[in-house]
Amino acid sequence: MALELLDVNVGVAGRALVRGLSARVEPGAVLALMGPSGSGKSSLLAWIAGTLEPPFTANGTLRLDGRDISHEPVQRRRIGLLFQDDLLFPHMTVRENLLFALPAGPRPAREAAVTAALAEAGLPGHEQRLPSSLSGGQRARVSLLRCLLAQPLALLLDEPFSRLDATLRAQIREFTFATLRRRGVPTVLVTHDPADVPTGAACVQLDAPADPLPPAHARHA
């Protein structure tokens, strides 16, 4: 269930942003991509997700659970994606947003999964609520739940806490990484704030694009 990157290059307009990156993220572990804006960390994340568009170019191998998924479309990669905004569908209730993510199956089992997930997140009974009636922290939690209910084999977090205020941030951070560790999902986190990186996470520092880099190696925080 590990996520592997092998010899990944990402560039734009003939300029290399990331060169020869290799990394392996074990289940439940976190790989943090850090660097100033423009260093290519979001582009790298997009490549892993399968959403990288021109003018960006990339090559390299991506393996998930031993399978080479470098050329799979987004829908087939089983990689979850969380953005800064919760992006909950505003016209659906919490329950409907969560059901949207669940794989198809017998109805009672799906409903039970939704109830269990909400209980786990400390939001029991919130099924019929609309996103507009939830607080920012509640929405962030539901968004993570939605991601996880799709049973991803890996998870990508693109600066997921930057929209939350300081106190909430710590809370949600705790909750997120505890859940991911418990579920055993390999995670790649993009952030510019070192405080976001959990202890024990591997760190890749991407430098500003002006400097030519020797191939980056995984370093421990």
Partner 1 sequence: MPRKPARHPVWPVLAPVLLFALPLLLALPLAIGQGVEPAAWRALASDPQGPRALALSVGTALASTLAALVLSLWLVTHLHGTPAWERLARALGPMLSLPHAAFAIGLALLVMPAGVLARLLAPLLQWDAPPDWPTVNDPWGVGLVLVLVAKETPFLLWSIVALLARPELVLQLRGWLAAGRTLGYRDRAIWWRVLWPQLLPRLTWPLLAVLAYGLTVVDLALIVGPASPPTLAVLAWQALLDADPARNAEGAAWALLLAAVLAALVALGWALAHALAGAWRAGAVDGRRRPVPASRQSTTAPRMAPAVLGMLLALYGAVALLIALSSFTGVWTFPSLWPQSWTAGAWVQVADSAGTVGLTAALGVFAALAALALVLAWLEAAPPAWDDRAMPVVLAPLVVPSLLTMVGLYSLALPLRLDGTLAGLAWVHTLVALPYVFVALAPAWRAFDPRYETTALALGRSRAAFWWHAKLPMLAAPVAAALAVGFAVSVAQYLPTQFLGAGRHGTVTTEAVTLAAGGQRHTAAAFAALQALLPAIGFGLAAAVGLAQRRRIGAMPAPHADGPRTA
- Least separation in angstroms between residue 103's CB and partner 1 is 7
Minimum distance between the CB of residue 128 and partner 1, rounded to whole angstroms? Answer: 12
Output 36-39 pairs: Cβ under 8 A, ≥24 positions apart.
36/192, 36/207, 36/208, 37/192, 38/208, 38/209, 39/206, 39/207, 39/208, 39/209
CB nearer to partner 1: give 37 or 135. Answer: 135
Q: Which is nearer to partner 1, 109 or 210 (CB)?
A: 109
Q: In what order do the strands lie in the sheet with 15-25?
A: 15-25, 3-12, 56-64, 67-68
Min dist. Cβ of residue 96 to partner 1 (A): 9
Place of tokens 């010899």: 7
Residues 156, 49 contacting (CB under 8 angstroms): yes
Q: Which residue lies nearer to partner 1 by CB, 54 or 108?
A: 54
**∠ CA 160-170-194 to the nearest 5 degrees?**
65
CB of 176 to partner 1, least distance (A): 15
141 dihedral zone (left: phi>0; alpha: psi -120 to 50; beta): alpha
Residue 168's SS3 state is: helix
Q: Which residues bind partner 1 (CB under 8 A)?
A: 49, 51, 53, 57, 59, 70-71, 73-81, 83, 85, 87, 89-92, 100-101, 103, 130-133, 135-138, 146-147, 150, 152, 156, 163-165, 167-168
Residue number with CB closer to partner 1 (91 or 217): 91
Smallest distance from partner 1 to CB 50, Å? 8
Residues forming beta bridges with residue 129, ordered by sequence position? none
Nearer to partner 1, 40 or 50 (CB): 50
